[in-house]
Structure 1
Amino acid sequence: MFHHSLGIMTKPSAAWRRLAQLDDTSQALMLLYPLIWAILPAYAWYIGTTQVGWTVGVGRDVIRLTDESARLISFLFYGGMVSCVVAIGYFIHWMSETYGAQSSFIKGILIASVCATPLFIAGAVGFYPVLWLDMLIGVFAVCWSTYLLYNGIPIVMKIPDSRGFLFASAVIGVSLVMLVCLLVATTLLWDWGAMPAFTD
């Protein structure tokens, strides 16, 4: 499973071709992919916000979250990542017929999971929460994930590049909607008791 992660980061086209040739059982096993990878950013941000902390401005006090607050937020963060991957995977499957591709729900989740690999890896910046560095790495990860989507959809779905481009663009639109839904959910969860609690 993890050799696909290395391949997708270094030789994406070859890695997508290998993933496209997986049988149904191997594809089903790849459902563990987002469940395992999503642990990295959730744990990193838990450690970063409770042990390392961050500052706002120069010479200010270090800000940290309490263990209980960070644990709850990290758990919800993990659930949000996995839920978004599954939802985007469902929409990839749902839209596939429109673009002349044969798909399954598992294949949709596979594509969404593999495209999220750079985001999962970039989540490790949470161990050292510095805003400018985290934003820089985050922007690079989003760009690489977008490239993987445009590169992988035609290969895995076995459709022409022109249709693959339109398909991937539609997936980007769905992903932006998912981002807005995640922001709304975050606001609601904060209102319902998951608001960060800071140490003294």
Structure 2
Amino acid sequence: MFQLLPKLFTSPRSAWLPIRQHAEQHPWGFLPVLIVLSFIPAICAYIGTAHVGWELFGSEDPTYLNQASALYLACMVYLGFLCGVSIMALMTRWVLFRTPGRPTLLLAYTFATCLSVPLMLASIGAVIPLRMMLLLFAVLGTLYSIVLLFRGLPVFMHLKRNDETRFYGACILAVGFLVFLTNGFIFMELWWQPLSGGEYISEPAESDDFS
């Protein structure tokens, strides 16, 4: 399925039909994409927090995490993406429960995984310490995921009427924002609480600092 992903960015409308065909022939084809690309936000979060430093709101000086905190944060980011895509797949299938071509759970997983690809790639911005760059990458990734949603929904899910597509797309989009916020809050709390705020330090972490 990796070879089909570039068309999501070069020709998003025509990319969805071969992705659907591939998903029908290889129902688990989404899994390597989800497992591998979810490492991008995790690795970028680790590098950005442990070695590059982030400018937190209220401060112009870069702030770092020690190795243990940054590694734990990366794990939470990775699990957060896996969990978020899983919930979106379940919700997409539930939203489309009245449609004639209601997707199977694995097809819904494929669709949700493809929608998450721009967000995974946009996480490269996490290695840049500038707040505005972080926000810019996040906004661009989110907007492109929305474009893929509305262009891919009628093709991938075999919806014919425009009003039907807009309605279901709006429902999936609303659920997606709710999942993003709730999922992010839960996994940030899972990271924040055990380490008492992540153990911020003023200098880049040393490779042997796991205290």
The 2-side partners of 1:54 and 1:188 are apart by 19
Q: TM-score, normalised by structure 2?
A: 0.86
Count of residue pairs brought into register by the alignment = 200
Per the alignment, residue 172 of structure 1 pairs with 173
**Identity, % of aligned positions:** 20
- The Cα of 1:21 is off from its aligned counterpart by 1.7
- The Cα of 1:13 is off from its aligned counterpart by 1.1
RMSD after superposition: 2.1
Per the alignment, residue 197 of structure 1 pairs with 199
User: SS of the counterpart of 1:28?
Assistant: coil
Question: Deviation per CA, 1:116-151, whole angstroms, max 9, x where unpaired?
Answer: 111111111122231101101211111110010011
The 1-side partners of 2:107 and 2:168 are apart by 14
The 2-side partners of 1:106 and 1:169 are apart by 22
The amino acid of 1:193's aligned partner reads P
The amino acid of 2:105's aligned partner reads F
Runs of at least 5 residues in structure 2 that lack an aligned partner in the other structure: 203-211
The amino acid of 2:37's aligned partner reads W
Q: More helix per residue: 1 or 2?
A: 1
Per the alignment, residue 71 of structure 2 pairs with 71
Per the alignment, residue 105 of structure 2 pairs with 105
Q: Residue 89 of structure 1 contacts residue 105 of structure 1 at CA under 8 Å; is this kept in 2? A: yes
**For residues 1-200 of structure 1, what are the structure 2 equivalents within 5 Å?**
1-55=1-55, 60-160=60-160, 161-186=162-187, 188-190=189-191, 192-194=193-195, 195-200=197-202
Runs of at least 5 residues in structure 1 that lack an aligned partner in the other structure: none
Q: Which shows bigger deviation, 51-60 or 84-93?
A: 51-60
- The Cα of 1:57 is off from its aligned counterpart by 8.2
User: SS of the counterpart of 2:97?
Assistant: helix
The 2-side partners of 1:23 and 1:54 are apart by 39
- The Cα of 1:60 is off from its aligned counterpart by 4.8
